[in-house]
């Protein structure tokens, strides 16, 4: 039995595409929140602090959850594809080339896109949380 079939490739592509569309639609809001200015006085930071909190809760956390779920859901299949390809290539390299199947390779390519999306979403969330901490911090010295 093949570890990946056309149905799994289609499902993976569809889900990664949907999450990619969400990420693209929310990118402007994420970027705007990341560009928030840390005013010297804590009281002056309230609007920026609220915007960053909203962006974290409403955009960054859902993206991390969705991309993380995709990576975890399809991880066993990705491991099977890599393991099987490595085993076949090591044991019978010429036979592996003759029996090449583009479906598992395409699945692995789509899976890697999900991994990159997850890493980018997690990095964005981390940067937003650091910014939120700076915005919630004490007044800055005028030095």
Angstrom distance (rounded) from CA 129 to CA 139: 18
Give the pLDDT confidence score for residue 86 in this predicted structure.
Answer: 86
Give the pLDDT confidence score for residue 14 in this predicted structure.
Answer: 97
Give the pLDDT confidence score for residue 94 in this predicted structure.
Answer: 80
Ordered alpha helix ranges (H), the chain:
6-34, 46-55, 61-91, 93-98, 102-136
pLDDT tens digits for range 41-95: 988 999 999 999 999 999 999 999 999 999 999 999 999 999 988 887 787 778 7
| Domain extents in the chain | 6-136
Q: Model-level pTM?
A: 0.89
């Amino acid at each position: 039995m093949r570890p990946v079939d056309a149905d799994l490739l289609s499902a993976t592509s569809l889900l990664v595409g949907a999450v990619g569309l969400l990420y693209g639609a929310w990118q402007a809001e994420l970027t705007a929140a990341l560009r928030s200015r840390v005013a010297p006085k804590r009281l002056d930071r309230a609007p920026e602090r609220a915007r960053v909190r909203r962006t974290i809760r409403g955009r960054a956390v859902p993206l991390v959850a969705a991309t993380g779920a995709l990576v975890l859901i399809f991880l066993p299949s990705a491991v099977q594809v890599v393991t099987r390809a490595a085993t076949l290539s090591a044991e019978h390299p010429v036979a592996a080339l003759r029996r090449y199947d583009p479906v598992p390779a395409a699945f692995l390519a789509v899976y890697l896109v999900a991994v990159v999306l997850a890493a980018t979403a997690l990095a964005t969330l981390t940067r937003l949380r650091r910014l939120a901490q700076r915005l919630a911090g004490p007044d800055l010295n005028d030095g």
